[in-house]
Chain A
Amino acid sequence: MKLLPGGIVKPKTTVANKTGAWRTFIPIYDEDKCKKCGICETFCPEDCISVDENEFRHPDYDFCKGCGICAEECPADAIEMKYEEKE
């Protein structure tokens, strides 16, 4: 690793950390229930929820730590936290 003067590093380089590995519970989104309000996206501490062309929300499981805030705050009860089986 080349040490830059003053310890300068490149922006947004934390994306190399796949914090999804921390997860115990995984949020599963139900599009039939979703009201497309965006509340999950606003509150996600990982800022890992994206919007598709139909305004449905999708968590990026590479980064989702499974905190459950989205499921707790979703006004439509469209997100379920499930225990995630891992190998």
Chain B
Amino acid sequence: MSLFAQGHTACGGCGMPIAVKLVLGGSGENSIVVSPTGCLEVTSTRYPQSAWGVPWIHSLFENAAAVASGIETALKVKGKKANVLVIGGDGATVDIGIRALSGMFERGHNVTYVCYDNEAYMNTGVQRSGSTPYGASATTSPAGKLSFGEDKPKKDTPAIAAAHGIPYVATASVGYPKDIVKKVKKAQEIVGPKYIQILAPCPTGWRFDGSKTIKLAKLAVETALFPVYEIENGEITKVKKIKERKPVEEYLKLQGRFKHLFKENKDQIEVIQKMADANAEKFGLDG
């Protein structure tokens, strides 16, 4: 058994627990984890139970980075060493908790902040977040006669993190497990604030069969819609190259949240393809 036990109540096929067990695999036993409110907290710590095999604390939805900063400072004062992590959802990270996160980056706390990105507020019923991709239908950006779904591009949170001048920023996907373990290990060796954003497909909110989670986690990368890279001290140092980039349709068509695009809004698929092309160009993904 890993450091994240069985019996958690995430939906069958959820990408989030896959991300969590891999992150803990990289971080090891000597870790302290903070999680804000969200599917991870709700499904892993139904009182009086816990799935966690390491010390874990629930913060509020909006202040995980502040709680982690306090823990890291307390350890320093006490002369103790442990890997302090936050593992939180995209809503908690890119929207409501971004002020606390920015403060943590600014103050230079030695914390690894991991965002499992399922691209919406899943635990409260699939409301759009800043991380929801363009064209996706969420309950607060529903597709309909007057709307093709989310009309804003996915917020570039890794770039926001990097703009703070922190030493390490990375993206990853549960489709590539070794890459996650490697990046977490690397982050733990660097002193200072680290930010890792991991794409973790949500079968319930994205509306696909749970058996396809890994397939989609790979397709997001293979289409260049979710580029996988590392930024060290502000410079892009590594990208996951794509041998034969796939058209975005291959990714979109497997998910209910994009279904409407194949009926009334075909022109939006071209817009999304252009976004993928721009990612490929920006990060030099092809080859």
Contact = CB atoms under 8 A, between A and B. Distances in A.
A84 B30 CA distance: 40
Interface in A30-54: 42-48
B115 interface: no
Interface residues on B, range: 35 or more
Contacts of A71: 211
Given A68-B210, A71-B211, A47 B12 contact: no
B6 A43 contact: no
B48 A9 contact: yes
Nearest to A60: B6
Contacts, number: 105
A48 B6 contact: yes
Contacts of A42: 177
Contacts of B209: 68
Interface stretch (B14-22, B182-190, B233-241): B14-22
Interface in A1-33: 1, 7, 9-19, 22-23
B155 interface: no
Given A68-B209, A69-B13, A73-B214, A15 B7 contact: yes
Given A45-B18, A47-B4, A69-B213, A12 B47 contact: no
A21 to B, nearest CB: 11
Given A9-B50, A47-B2, A17 B7 contact: yes
B181 to A, nearest CB: 10
B254 interface: no
A43 B214 contact: yes
B6 A11 contact: no
A interface secondary structure, majority: loop
B12 A45 contact: yes
Contacts of A66: 12
Q: Is the interface on chain A under 10, 10 to 19, 20 to 34, or 35 or more residues? A: 20 to 34
B197 to A, nearest CB: 19
A14 B10 CA distance: 12
A60 B6 CA distance: 10
A55 to B, nearest CB: 18
A14 B45 CA distance: 8
Given A10-B50, A12-B53, A43-B177, A67 B211 contact: yes
Interface string A46-87: 111000000000001011011111011100000001000000
Contacts of B5: 11-15, 47
Given A47-B1, A69-B213, A72-B214, A13 B10 contact: no
Interface of B: 1-2, 4-10, 12-18, 21, 44-54, 174, 177, 209-215
Given A19-B9, A67-B211, A69-B213, 5 more contacts: A9-B45, A19-B7, A45-B18, A47-B4, A68-B209
